[in-house]
Amino acid sequence: KFTPDGGSVKVSAKRVSSKELKKEISFDLSDSSQDLVLISVQDTGIGIKREDIPKLFQAFTQLESPLQKKYEGTGLGLAITKNLVELHGGKIWCESEYGKGSKFSFVIPIKKREEN
């Protein structure tokens, strides 16, 4: 929604180990030996100021943006997403450079199917 015409949005998903992921990010997951699925959405949109990133996942919060009036919303999307990811035992985060785009990523544990 905040990527201009001619920009790009890339969605990726891959299986990773907790150990592999810890090299990239710094937070604890409950089981450090568990496999995870890492899903990322990266765009070449307007980007987010570093000081605004912690506000993104708060309910009813919208950041100041020149496009704010063009794209209205309730400010609930990322808050709901964060809750769903955490209910699955995962983590969500954002990396962004203002004016250049953002990358939102989350990981959730992969549960092994129990044999009957």
Tell me the pLDDT tens digit for each residue of 91-106: 999 999 998 999 999 9
Place of tokens 């100021």: 49
For CA atoms 4, 47, 2, 8, the dihedral sign is: positive
Q: How many CB atoms lie within 10 A of CB 82?
A: 19
Classify 55 as helix, strand or coil.
helix
No. of helices (H) and no. of strands (E), the chain: 2, 4
**Phi (first) and psi of residue 75, to 5 degrees:** 80, 25
Contact by Cβ (8 Å): 44, 8? yes
Angle ∠(21,25,28) on CA atoms, nearest 5: 80
The CATH code of the domain at 9-109 is 3.30.565.10
Contact by Cβ (8 Å): 40, 104? yes
What DSSP designation does 101 have? Answer: E
pLDDT of 44 > 80? The answer is yes
Tokens linked to 35:
């496999």
Classify 102 as helix, strand or coil.
strand
Q: Which residue has the higher pLDDT, 7 or 65?
A: 7
**Residues 47-94 pLDDT 10s:** 999 999 989 899 877 766 555 455 567 789 999 999 999 999 999 999
